[in-house]
């Protein structure tokens, strides 16, 4: 119906949008909510192409939104998975130092983990590393028993399914791209490539398009989203026995990625990766994918060039490795020396959205802001999938405060 008005419209059907829908509908069952997603299915981009890891919260600055939401969100996600039969396994991981230069960073990570109250973490020696991962070689490590794996696509689908079951008046609109937002008589008019929707409030969970939709909603945003593609290899059937669960290196403290690691997926596959390279297409998963708009947008932004300048050698090495199986294998052999070229085969790719500051810094915390009748999730890189239920609950609390949801509820009852 053309005069149909929703209480809240959520733009973006990744796991953060789905978790927000679920948390809002669970706490406010009378709200009429619509989730609008441009792709043919939920979790199409970042959520469906990440490593499938439920992160512990080991790496994040104590007191930050990432640290708190990762720990709280992980616990909530495990409970959600158990209650709803979502494929998952709290299998634990090892973080491995290869040489002496990495030991101070390993100690720092361990101290951060203790401060963030990560359950059960312990320092382990070379022999203990092999007890967990017999083919892994290192001089010291950290055992993180609460890290796990999960099918994030299944979790996203279930969150939306449960939300829709709470209120039959709420809706999911797939293959519908929101592209304009205007206010008319106190109501948001959302233009899409199919039809127009009307909603009192809007919550944007747009991931790789977060900055563009924010500007369309008249948000004065200085930063831009820049995409980084991550390529994966997979272990062949003959080599799968060399990895039991999860193996991570000590991350480079100068770069905001965790490094190439080994991950057992819920379907039994073993993935190796990802690397991290600047992508010339925000939603491009091929190594040569290109989009003029995305490229011009990124390369006319000063923050992009400052990022390149500050990380030149790292970036060059990442690009070389993206096009060289031999170099990729060499990185993997630092952790598992017995791997050979015949043990790995090309896998999938994912793209991560990073809100890049004007000075080229990518290490910003989660960032969620309120404006008029809208809430914008402007920056939610890893560990956002792990933290999704906690992020969704934070957004729910923000909506209760700024949207006065209690008044809407009382109005519906009368």
Mean pLDDT on 223-240: 94
Mean pLDDT on 70-87: 98
Query: How far apart are the C-alpha atoms of 53 and 245, rounded to whole Å?
Result: 11
Query: How far apart are the C-alpha atoms of 97 and 356, rounded to whole Å?
Result: 29
Residue 307 pLDDT level (bands cut at 50, 70, 90)? confident
Pairing relationship of beta strands 344-356 and 270-273 according to DSSP bridges: unpaired
Residue 380 pLDDT level (bands cut at 50, 70, 90)? very high
Kindly tell me if the per-residue pLDDT of 222 is higher than 60: yes
Lowest mean pLDDT: which of 54-68, 275-289, 304-318, 383-397? Answer: 304-318
Give the CATH number of domain 224-240+254-363.
3.30.9
The angle subtended at Cα 231 by Cα 228 and Cα 232, nearest 5°, is 145
CATH 3.50.50.60 given to domain 5-46+153-222+365-413: yes
The pLDDT of residue 320:
77
Mean pLDDT on 145-164: 98
The pLDDT of residue 1:
43
Sequence ranges of the domains in the chain: 5-46+153-222+365-413, 93-145, 224-240+254-363
> Residue 412 CB: number of other CB atoms within 10 A?
12
Cβ-contact 36, 192 below 8 angstroms: yes
The pLDDT of residue 414:
44
Whole-angstrom CA distances from 76 to 81, 389, 393 are: 9, 7, 11
Query: How far apart are the C-alpha atoms of 288 and 304, rounded to whole Å?
Result: 19
Residue 308 pLDDT level (bands cut at 50, 70, 90)? confident
DSSP output for 220-233: ----EEEEEEEEEE
Q: Bigger pLDDT: 403 or 320?
A: 403
Query: How far apart are the C-alpha atoms of 47 and 45, rounded to whole Å?
Result: 6
Cβ-contact 333, 344 below 8 angstroms: no
% of the chain beyond a pLDDT of 70: 95
Kindly tell me if the per-residue pLDDT of 376 is higher than 80: yes
Residue 313 pLDDT level (bands cut at 50, 70, 90)? low
What do you get for the CA distance between the two ends of the chain, in Å? 23
Q: Bigger pLDDT: 256 or 16?
A: 16
Question: Closest Cα to residue 278, out of 319, 335, 243?
Answer: 319
The pLDDT of residue 408:
62
> Residue 405 CB: number of other CB atoms within 10 A?
20
Whole-angstrom CA distances from 120 to 74, 83, 403 are: 15, 23, 40
Query: How far apart are the C-alpha atoms of 262 and 251, rounded to whole Å?
Result: 14
Q: Which DSSP state fits 366?
A: P
Residue 407 pLDDT level (bands cut at 50, 70, 90)? low
């Amino acid at each position: 119906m053309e005069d149909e008005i929703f209480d809240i419209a959520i733009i973006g059907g990744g796991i953060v949008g789905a978790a927000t829908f679920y948390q809002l509908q669970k706490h406010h069952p009378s709200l009429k909510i619509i989730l609008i997603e441009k792709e043919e299915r939920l979790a199409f981009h970042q959520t469906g192409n990440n490593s499938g890891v439920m992160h512990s919260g080991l790496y994040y600055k104590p007191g930050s939104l990432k640290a708190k939401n990762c720990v709280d969100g992980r616990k909530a996600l495990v409970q959600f998975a158990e209650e709803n039969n979502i494929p998952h396994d709290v299998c634990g991981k090892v973080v491995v130092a290869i040489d002496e230069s990495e030991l101070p960073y390993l100690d720092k990570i361990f101290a951060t983990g203790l401060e963030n109250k990560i359950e059960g973490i312990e320092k382990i020696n070379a022999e203990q590393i092999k007890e967990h991962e017999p083919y892994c070689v290192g001089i010291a490590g950290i055992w993180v028993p609460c890290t796990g794996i999960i099918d994030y696509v299944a979790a996203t689908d279930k969150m939306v399914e449960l939300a829709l079951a709470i209120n039959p008046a709420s809706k999911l609109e797939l293959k519908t791209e929101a592209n304009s937002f205007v206010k008319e008589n106190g109501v948001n008019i959302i233009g899409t490539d199919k039809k127009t929707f009307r909603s009192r409030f809007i919550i944007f969970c747009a991931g790789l398009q977060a900055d563009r939709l924010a500007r369309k909603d008249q948000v004065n945003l200085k930063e831009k989203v820049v995409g980084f593609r991550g390529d994966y290899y997979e272990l062949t059937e003959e080599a799968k026995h060399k990895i039991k669960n999860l193996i991570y290196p000590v991350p480079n403290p100068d770069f905001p990625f965790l490094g190439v690691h080994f991950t057992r997926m819920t379907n039994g596959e073993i993935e190796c990766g990802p690397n991290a390279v600047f992508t010339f297409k925000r939603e491009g998963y091929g190594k040569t994918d290109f989009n003029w708009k995305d490229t011009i947008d990124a390369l006319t932004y000063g923050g992009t060039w400052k990022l390149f300048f500050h990380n030149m050698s790292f970036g060059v090495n990442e690009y070389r490795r993206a096009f060289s199986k031999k170099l990729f294998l060499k990185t993997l052999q630092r952790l598992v020396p017995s791997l050979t070229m015949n043990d790995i085969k090309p896998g999938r790719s994912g793209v991560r959205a990073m809100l890049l500051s004007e000075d080229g810094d990518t290490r910003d915390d989660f960032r969620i802001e309120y404006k008029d009748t809208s809430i914008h999730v402007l920056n939610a890189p890893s560990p956002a999938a792990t933290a999704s239920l906690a992020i969704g609950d934070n957004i729910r609390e923000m909506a209760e405060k700024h949207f006065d949801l209690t008044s809407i509820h009382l109005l519906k009852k009368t």
